[in-house]
Amino acid sequence: MARWFGYGAAGLLVGITLLAGTTTTLAKSSASDPPLVVGVDNGSPTFSDNFNPFAYQRIGRLLIYEPLAMVNPYSGHATPWLATHWQYPHPKTLIITVRNGVKWNDGVPFTAADVAFTFNLLKKFPALDSSGLWSVLKSVTASGDTVTFRYSQAAVPTLEQILQVPIVPEHIWSKIANPVTYTDTRPVGTGPYVLKQFTPYQYILAKNPGYWQADKVAVPELVFPTLGTNQIAQLRLVSGQWQWASLFIPDIKAIYASKSPYHQYWFPGGAPVSLVLNLKKAPFSDPRFREAVAYAINRQAIVDKAEFGYVPPASQSLLTLPAQASWLDPSIPHRGYIPFDPARARAILKAAGYRWNAQGQLLGRGGKVVSFSIEIPSGWTDWIQTSQMIADDLGKLGMQVQVKTPKYGTYASDQTSGVFTAVLGGAGGQPNPYWSFYYLLNPQNTFGWKSKYTTDLLAQWDATSSKTAQRDLAYRLENVMTHQFPVIPLFYGATWAEFSTKNYVGWPSASDPYTSPAPYLQSVLMIVTHLRPRG
């Protein structure tokens, strides 16, 4: 992705930076607590003035508009936010109780009517309904402190999606003719920050004094500068000008962490990057063949070389471990981690009736040499290296594997139309494992997975709000993953997050993983209410 662009050129400055040591430049200092400079919003090259919570523009919107609950991006655990309580009295009815005493930053009280208004706005303008909620909802109505969601068909797993919709004030948004193209340059939200100043190269958010948990907000101001090129962004982070960023940095210990004891980072693993084979084509249609491939790949070597050791290998269960460990079927051996075992891979192929020719090449069922190519978007260097290592590993089993690097557009459209043979792609990684399984195995999938069994399991999950029943369904789906190998997870895709503990502490970390450390997710609300001045 973008983080890999200019990688070669970056090397030069990285080298110089190593010699240069640190130069400290602070935005300003005063008797009160200093601002926090966040290098994450990519003005390209300048910011467009748009804080519309439904447009994917200024990241600062996430600190102004709040959702009903904070859903942990890894474990799926939901912390009450604008909602205090929710329940399904029936799989087709969801009742949410909203928080009392919350005010919009213009002083108007927040009510259940605002919540109902927001969801009905998504109905009226489908462009805002990014989770397709109204394909299953029938009505959303407010009464007193509660909002009632009625479904046209049971879809209990939509709970997490409903809880994450940013809520907008009815007294303002009801007057907006077209909320899709509304630029919202003076955002009115319930969040901990208000927009203090906007200029094309920088915007500043100031603490909202009337915030409903104002006592938990320690940072008086958040400054969002534009990023510039990768090289300049890295200079600014390493020199301490930025105290929070999301940059890919090769050899982060030497380049960043060694510069100051305050320079901290945490790269938690998210959606598993997986080898996706086209199941419509032989020999990929054979689960035993896929199983052999899973054992033939040396994931640890890939993680160490292609991913700089930043992320761990992924479990075949499709769950994001360890965060989703509570969903994992304990009877699955090694928690679903497939060991590197080429001898076993060979034995599986042999037992399934595959043969090799005199040159040691693996033959398919029809007697043809097994030969295929893996597609990765050009420029995604870590994925390209991963594919080359997979090609080597599979080559030792007698397969002929090439690596193709088309432009991203071709890569994407090949998958949408299902014309590929093999690709690397993201799979899983959703807060609620239901969606990890659904996005992969739903009947509209384009990689050729056909199974009435998994479709039925997903439908049963739609219709149950019982935690035990949901867990049982997850166990079954995990067993499909570990026995049928629809896709082969390789490693957990990293989230890049660097932060400074110089002025503020309380960041999420491996030892205190209360949420994702990424500065571009809704979870920033959780982080700014945890940060406190260094004592």
Partner 1 sequence: MAKRFVFLVFTLWIAVTLNFLIPRMMPGNPAELMVRRIVGQGPVNPQLVHAVEIMLGLPVGSMAHQYVLYLGNMIHGSFGVSYTYFPYPVMQVIGQALPWTLALLGTTTIVTFVLGTALGAFAAWRRGSWFDTAATVTANFTATFPFFWIALMAIYVLGFLLHWFPINGGYGAGLTPGWNGTFLASALDHSILPALTIVVAGTGGWLFGMRNNMIHVLGEDYVRLAVAKGLGGHVIALDYGARNAILPNITGFAMSLGTLVGGSILVESVFGYPGMGYLLYNAVGDQDYPLMQAIFLLITVGTLLANFLADLAYGVLDPRARRGGESS
- Kindly state the smallest distance separating residue 276's Cβ from partner 1, in Å: 10
Smaller CB separation from partner 1, 220 or 395: 220
Query: Cβ 308 to partner 1, closest distance in Å?
Result: 15
Tell the smallest beta-carbon distance from residue 493 to partner 1 (Å).
Answer: 5
Smaller CB distance to partner 1: residue 386 or 482? 386
CB atoms within 10 A of CB 348: 20
Closest separation between CB of residue 271 and partner 1, Å?
4
Token reading at 311: 């992320």
The minimum distance between CB 348 and partner 1, in angstroms, equals: 28
Q: Which is nearer to partner 1, 211 or 461 (CB)?
A: 461
Q: Is 103 exposed, middle or buried (0-12, 13-18, 19+ CB in 10 A)?
A: middle
Please name the residue that has the structure tokens 């399984």. 437
State how far the alpha carbon of 357 is from the alpha carbons of 344, 367, 371, 391, in Å: 19, 9, 14, 19
In 3D space, the residue among 261, 278, 265, 272 whose CA is nearest the CA of residue 320 turns out to be: 272
Q: What is the dihedral of CA 51, 52, 57, 61, to 10 degrees?
A: 50
User: In 10 A of CB 311, how many CB atoms?
Assistant: 21
Four-CA torsion 175, 181, 186, 190, nearest 10 degrees: 70
Looking at the Cβ atoms of 55 and 349, the one nearer to partner 1 is 55
Residue 374 Cβ vs partner 1, minimum distance, rounded to whole Å: 16
Quick one: angle between helices 452-462 and 433-441, nearest 10? 140
Instruction: Considering the complex, state which of residue 21 and residue 535 has its C-beta at the smaller distance from partner 1.
Output: 21
Instruction: Verify cis geometry, omega within 30 degrees of 0, for the bond prior to 322.
Output: yes
**Shortest Å, Cβ 425 to partner 1:** 7
Euclidean distance between CA atoms 40 and 247, whole angstroms: 8
DSSP state string for 220-254: SEEEEE---SHHHHHHHHHTTS-SEE----TTHHH
Closest to partner 1 by CB, 88 or 439? 439
N- to C-terminal Cα distance for the chain?
A: 39
Beta strand pairing call for 422-426 and 371-375: parallel
Residue number with CB closer to partner 1 (126 or 533): 126
Closest CB to partner 1 among residues 225, 519: 225
> Toward partner 1, which CB reaches closer, 135 or 357?
135
CB 130, min distance to partner 1, A: 4
Taking alpha carbons only, the member of 190, 196, 214, 207 closest to residue 107 is 190
Residue 9, φ and ψ in degrees, nearest 5: -65, -35
Q: Which residues bind partner 1 (CB under 8 A)?
A: 1, 9, 12-13, 16, 20, 23, 44-46, 48, 50, 55-57, 126-132, 135, 180-183, 197, 199-202, 204, 225-226, 228-229, 231-232, 235, 239, 270-271, 273, 406-413, 416, 425-430, 435-436, 439-440, 444, 493, 495
Give the integer Cα–Cα distance in Å for 7 and 145: 53
DSSP, collapsed to helix, strand or coil, labels residue 377 as coil
Nearest distance in Å: CB 50, partner 1? 8
Q: Which is nearer to partner 1, 35 or 192 (CB)?
A: 35
Q: How far is the CB of 373 from partner 1 (least distance, A)?
A: 17
